[in-house]
Chains A and B, each alone.
Chain A
């Protein structure tokens, strides 16, 4: 039966970066200079934005892992090892750089990443295994603003307060979508309890004076929940099944899950959000599927195949076919959020996340189609669209800075309003 399993990855270590343009910049740098090192690459790179945060310099370790990954793809080859590994561009690397457009480059990258790590294809398949109906999966988190009270801290153990919040997190996830978190209460409580003990006894990088408050904070419990969810849902053996589906013991850890989510989103295989108004935690859904049937809204990526032979199809409906539905979904989602918040201009991030979820399109495609919607005359429904670039207060700091920005024609938009175009006043005769 081994041929039906996902193969053992060639490569395990993954760099903790999620910005895929680093690959391109590294390749270009290698092309233009006679062999590059991590130090050279760092001096060549311009400051860049990670989501909405400005990153002046990349860490050397990040750049080393970029080079190592490119070597694994066969796009760079190692020339000397001393004093610092030096790489030069290979023929394959040159071909990759000459790829016609961004989209084909992303597909090529998906192919390479899948060949090296197996995770891209496996992850999409796993989402569909967890929730065969829609592929939506929720990794629960404690309620916003939650933290354990003083008495729970004083107890210093896996007490009722933490347990209650854990149960509540599961209940919230199941209320949002019953299929998206198919874990039983007992299993969940056990797994989070164990993970939380890991958090409690973890090695602390820096010993700060005073008590360790982290395990009782929201982020501490959230970390435990993420560990538990990965252990239950993304282990080698799918939850509730007997046999593993991949030839490796632990395909994902908290550390590797973090860079994989944005990477897979950039590759247009999966989309996710941590800020969906109806979900506390991370909501993941696939924008690709393994299937036999070829269909109009799909783009086949034959280089990624399920062990049973089905190729991967990316859901990439054309603008012509989607146009009307895009407008109506945008309007419905906007109205829903505007009604709840009572505002005319609402967060474009929230609208984007929900439109992508409903239409099962990638955020990249959303950006492109929003641009089309801006350019083209509005359909007969008579909606008019307005986007603004004001930096919202809630995305100025904190976790929301990490949300994937929405840029249309190079402009980063943050808020959106839709209004019915006023109809011409009827003329009285």
Chain B
């Protein structure tokens, strides 16, 4: 036992003993303990990797129609995703859906969805709350840093390296996991590829010839192959002053040239929680922002607008339609993608609440991921039953996010109290003690309670 407290290391045991869930044949509580999708989280229950495609099949189809180009169908430059449920935006599964679409496209760069025609990338933008994204340059910076974090830029560099002609085919054949091979300078050096002296200058040269500004071209060529290095070696050193000048043109000119050089046909950008950007803006900023979107992506003299490179999917809150519509239309964006009025239906994905049958599928998917191998389960839901899922679904008012986290608490309770089964009546009883944290639906005006003192004659 080392005496020095600096040498104490935390135990590497999982915090919950797996035997706790053995009764049901599970390795862990199958359901997430947080009510939202955390992109990139370690826990598979909450990072969106467990996903039942059947649940939002209709939305997925609509998404492909609108935004994914195929040989016989062009795609729009912009679309909206809006929840069709009334006033229950949270926990309906939008983020999980977008995260799924992103990983689906990024797994093969859109090769499958475009029917082996085009290369696409997808980025899922999650703006932080607050007022740091009010200006277009800040929005552009957010996009660029997200491209980096989500390995979009790294994918581009890996492709440029592979097609540079400086890595012998024999070496390329050895590279299976790209990020740790072509994307790793040490690995390449081990395989006798002259990274510093030939590969990087050659890529920089190609980027500059394609029209990328030299400083950015150098940054991309030197560090772009690794998100960490591009951040620490390049992006981190760019001052706000420089971003203000360059972010917009980098996004819509230089990067577009670079992406096209890498063979990308389109970039899909999903702007989640768009209200976080708009709510922080004042009227003038909203108008300017809409104008900037039009200039940068639709019809300005930018490479992005000329080639229609970016396809944007704005995830909007119902209320946003009202506050944004005015400025959107004033900037003329309604002709491209209407946010209000009848025409908005043509460029909108309506996000519907899931059905009871889909809820079963979703619950089954989570249970399947937690099953002990070799455990013989009676059916895909066991030990839960369809009646129990229906009851839980009713209690959580058809909101999948809330359904899952509430089931997490139900499972813990069932184990603590040794429930023999998950009968719907037990769930109802549990819901009274620990109701799900649903969005409030308080009436507009609550009547005043009668006063307790009556001052009138004969009153109490």
Q: Determine whether the beta carbon of B452 is less than 8 Å from that of A176.
A: no
The yes or no answer to B232 lying at the interface (CB within 8 A) is no
Q: Which residue of B lies closest to A277 (CB)?
A: B446
User: Size range of the interface on A?
Assistant: 20 to 34
Q: Determine whether the beta carbon of B453 is less than 8 Å from that of A360.
A: yes
Contact flag A172-B445 (CB < 8 Å), given A289-B456, A292-B457, A293-B457: yes
Q: Determine whether the beta carbon of B452 is less than 8 Å from that of A278.
A: no
Rounded to whole Å, the gap between the CB of B284 and the closest CB of chain A is: 15
Question: Which residues of B, 441-460, contact A by the 8 Å Cβ criterion?
Answer: 442, 444-458
Chain A residue contacts of B456, Cβ below 8 A: 289, 291
Contact flag A329-B452 (CB < 8 Å), given A291-B457, A292-B457, A340-B442: yes
A180–B449 Cα distance when bound, in Å, is: 13
User: Size range of the interface on B?
Assistant: 10 to 19
Question: Which residues of A, 355-390, contact B by the 8 Å Cβ criterion?
Answer: 357-361
Chain A residue contacts of B458, Cβ below 8 A: 293
The yes or no answer to A231 lying at the interface (CB within 8 A) is no
Q: Determine whether the beta carbon of A278 is less than 8 Å from that of B446.
A: yes
Q: Determine whether the beta carbon of B444 is less than 8 Å from that of A172.
A: yes
Chain B residue contacts of A288, Cβ below 8 A: 455
A276–B446 Cα distance when bound, in Å, is: 11
The yes or no answer to A325 lying at the interface (CB within 8 A) is yes
A293–B442 Cα distance when bound, in Å, is: 43
Chain A residue contacts of B455, Cβ below 8 A: 135, 286-289, 291, 313, 315, 360
Question: Which residues of B, 416-460, contact A by the 8 Å Cβ criterion?
Answer: 442, 444-458
Question: Which residues of A, 274-308, contact B by the 8 Å Cβ criterion?
Answer: 276-279, 283, 285-289, 291-293, 297
A358 CB contact (under 8 Å) in B442, B445, B446, B452: B452
Chain B residue contacts of A172, Cβ below 8 A: 444-445
A358–B450 Cα distance when bound, in Å, is: 7
The yes or no answer to A11 lying at the interface (CB within 8 A) is no
Question: Which residues of A, 175-230, contact B by the 8 Å Cβ criterion?
Answer: 175-177, 180
A28–B397 Cα distance when bound, in Å, is: 67
Q: Interface of chain B, helix or strand or loop or mixed?
A: loop
Q: Which residue of B lies closest to A357 (CB)?
A: B451
Contact flag A359-B445 (CB < 8 Å), given A292-B457, A293-B457: no
Q: Determine whether the beta carbon of A134 is less than 8 Å from that of B457.
A: no
A359–B449 Cα distance when bound, in Å, is: 11
Chain B residue contacts of A315, Cβ below 8 A: 453, 455
A297–B453 Cα distance when bound, in Å, is: 10
Rounded to whole Å, the gap between the CB of B350 and the closest CB of chain A is: 27
Chain A residue contacts of B454, Cβ below 8 A: 134
Contact flag A359-B451 (CB < 8 Å), given A289-B456, A291-B457: yes
The yes or no answer to A268 lying at the interface (CB within 8 A) is no
Chain B residue contacts of A287, Cβ below 8 A: 455
Chain A residue contacts of B444, Cβ below 8 A: 172, 175
Chain B residue contacts of A297, Cβ below 8 A: 453
Q: Determine whether the beta carbon of B451 is less than 8 Å from that of A176.
A: no
Q: Determine whether the beta carbon of B447 is less than 8 Å from that of A358.
A: no
Chain B residue contacts of A134, Cβ below 8 A: 450-451, 454
Chain A residue contacts of B457, Cβ below 8 A: 291-293
Question: Which residues of B, 55-109, contact A by the 8 Å Cβ criterion?
Answer: none
Chain B residue contacts of A176, Cβ below 8 A: 445-448
Chain A residue contacts of B453, Cβ below 8 A: 297, 315, 317, 358-361
The yes or no answer to A136 lying at the interface (CB within 8 A) is yes
B448 CB contact (under 8 Å) in A279, A286, A325, A360: A279
Rounded to whole Å, the gap between the CB of B434 and the closest CB of chain A is: 16
Q: Which residue of B lies closest to A361 (CB)?
A: B453
Q: Determine whether the beta carbon of A325 is less than 8 Å from that of B452.
A: yes
1/0 per position for A129-173, CB-CB distance to B under 8 A?
000001110000000000000000000000000000000000010
Chain A residue contacts of B447, Cβ below 8 A: 175-177, 278
Q: Determine whether the beta carbon of B445 is less than 8 Å from that of A177.
A: no
Q: Which residue of A lies closest to B449 (CB)?
A: A358
Rounded to whole Å, the gap between the CB of B287 and the closest CB of chain A is: 14
Rounded to whole Å, the gap between the CB of A132 and the closest CB of chain B is: 8
A317–B455 Cα distance when bound, in Å, is: 11
Rounded to whole Å, the gap between the CB of A196 and the closest CB of chain B is: 23
A357 CB contact (under 8 Å) in B442, B445, B446, B448: B448
Rounded to whole Å, the gap between the CB of B324 and the closest CB of chain A is: 15
A340–B446 Cα distance when bound, in Å, is: 11
Rounded to whole Å, the gap between the CB of B391 and the closest CB of chain A is: 25
Residues of B within 8 A of A (CB): 442, 444-458
Contacts beyond the supplied A134-B451, A279-B448: 17 A-B pairs with Cβ under 8 Å: A136-B448, A136-B451, A175-B444, A175-B447, A176-B445, A176-B448, A180-B448, A278-B445, A285-B451, A291-B456, A292-B457, A313-B455, A340-B442, A358-B451, A360-B451, A360-B452, A361-B453
Query: Can you list 25 residue pairs at the A/B interface with Cβ under 8 Å?
Result: A134-B454, A136-B448, A172-B445, A175-B445, A176-B445, A177-B448, A180-B448, A278-B446, A278-B448, A279-B448, A283-B448, A288-B455, A289-B455, A291-B457, A293-B457, A313-B455, A315-B453, A315-B455, A325-B452, A329-B452, A357-B448, A357-B451, A358-B452, A360-B451, A361-B453
